[in-house]
Structure 1
Amino acid sequence: MGGDEPVAPVFFDDALLDRLTQQARRSERQRVHHLLHRSHAEPCQRLLMGLQPSTYVAPHRHLAPEKAEMLTLLRGRVGVVLFDAAGAVTACRALGAADGCLGVDIPAGLYHALVTLEADSVLLECKAGPYLPLAEGEQAPWAPAEGEPRAATFLAELRVLFD
């Protein structure tokens, strides 16, 4: 794409959020990403995530000092779990209108995971670009990776933190 081509704005309306949550329901991972940035090289990575309760966002961290991660809830209810380097839970907080908290800014280097507490939830995520897949040392060695048989049990253990 050339730099002179106009780009249409993206409105976060009910139609878009409904489409994302429906796609998440049909997705094997039970979540879907809708990229708002035009390339992985952009200095600010922005995306919407449609999430369903059975999705597993494994504990991870971003080690690069500029990779703080901001999450803003647009719909539903999502739990944020923070861990120390050994895997002990240091904090957890639900994002939701009734919970009185709609977002979090997670500093770089902090292990975190998400637990979808309500069907059809949607988050806005922002962090510094360019996009980089998780590197060595960023996936939690004490937690199951996505797709491992233990992941469902681990997710259930995290969900209990919000009961």
Structure 2
Amino acid sequence: MLIDENMLDTLSGKARTSERLRMNLNFHSGAESKSQRLLNALEVGTVVPQHRHRATGETYIVLRGALNVFFHDEQGEISATFLLNPQEGVYGVDIPQGQWHSLEVLEQGTTIFEVKDGPYTPLCGEDIR
């Protein structure tokens, strides 16, 4: 499957009309896959609460647009901020296993390539703030 501008435009269009203002395109074969690989189109105003993945790290690579990724300490306070913007030469961030994090989308049409270890594990109440 070719990842091109048309694919990103189509996915961003779906994100703009979705209730959550984001849309995934999964490349992995299912929830049981050992590697969860996906595009995630994110629009300004989408809400991604503080959360953590206790069983895996996570990597974001920005294909277009810009966003802030926030790391949070155990009290929920911001401990680090990373501005990801390929136009400024900053392409991604690797989020360690168990690290509380959230994000803020800065530009319409922002799209990231996201990778986590599988199988897919839904977040439970103690992993979301």
Query: Is TM-score (shorter-chain normalized) higher than 0.5?
Result: yes
Residue in 1 aligned with 2:79? 90
- Report the 3-state secondary structure (helix = DSSP H, G, I; strand = E; otherwise coil) of the residue aligned with 1:74: strand
Q: What is the 5 A alignment of 1:55-74?
A: 55-64=46-55, 67-74=56-63
Alpha-carbon offset, residue 138 of structure 1: 1.0
* Residue identity in the other structure for 2:36: Q
In structure 2, stretches of 5+ residues that fail to align are none
Asked whether the equivalents of residues 84 and 92 of structure 2 are also in contact (C-alpha less than 8 Å), the reply is: yes
Higher Cα radius of gyration? 1
Residue in 2 aligned with 1:112? 101
Residue in 1 aligned with 2:115? 126
Please give the alpha-carbon distance, in whole angstroms, between the structure 2 residues aligned to 1:82 and 1:15.
32
Please give the alpha-carbon distance, in whole angstroms, between the structure 2 residues aligned to 1:78 and 1:32.
16
Please give the alpha-carbon distance, in whole angstroms, between the structure 2 residues aligned to 1:100 and 1:15.
23
| Bigger strand share | 2
Q: What is the 5 A alignment of 1:39-54?
A: 39-54=30-45
Please give the alpha-carbon distance, in whole angstroms, between the structure 2 residues aligned to 1:94 and 1:131.
27
Between the aligned residues of both structures, percent identity stands at 38
* Residue identity in the other structure for 2:52: R
TM (normalized to structure 1)? 0.77
Please give the alpha-carbon distance, in whole angstroms, between the structure 2 residues aligned to 1:103 and 1:52.
17
The count of aligned residue pairs is 129
The answer to whether the aligner puts 1:13 opposite 2:31 as a matched pair is: no
In structure 1, stretches of 5+ residues that fail to align are 1-9, 141-163
- Report the 3-state secondary structure (helix = DSSP H, G, I; strand = E; otherwise coil) of the residue aligned with 1:130: coil
Alpha-carbon offset, residue 11 of structure 1: 1.4
Please give the alpha-carbon distance, in whole angstroms, between the structure 2 residues aligned to 1:51 and 1:71.
12
Stretches (4+) displaced over 6 A: none
Asked whether the equivalents of residues 63 and 86 of structure 2 are also in contact (C-alpha less than 8 Å), the reply is: no
The Cα offsets for residues 53-84 of structure 1, whole Å up to 9 and x where unpaired, read as 010111100112xx100100001101101100
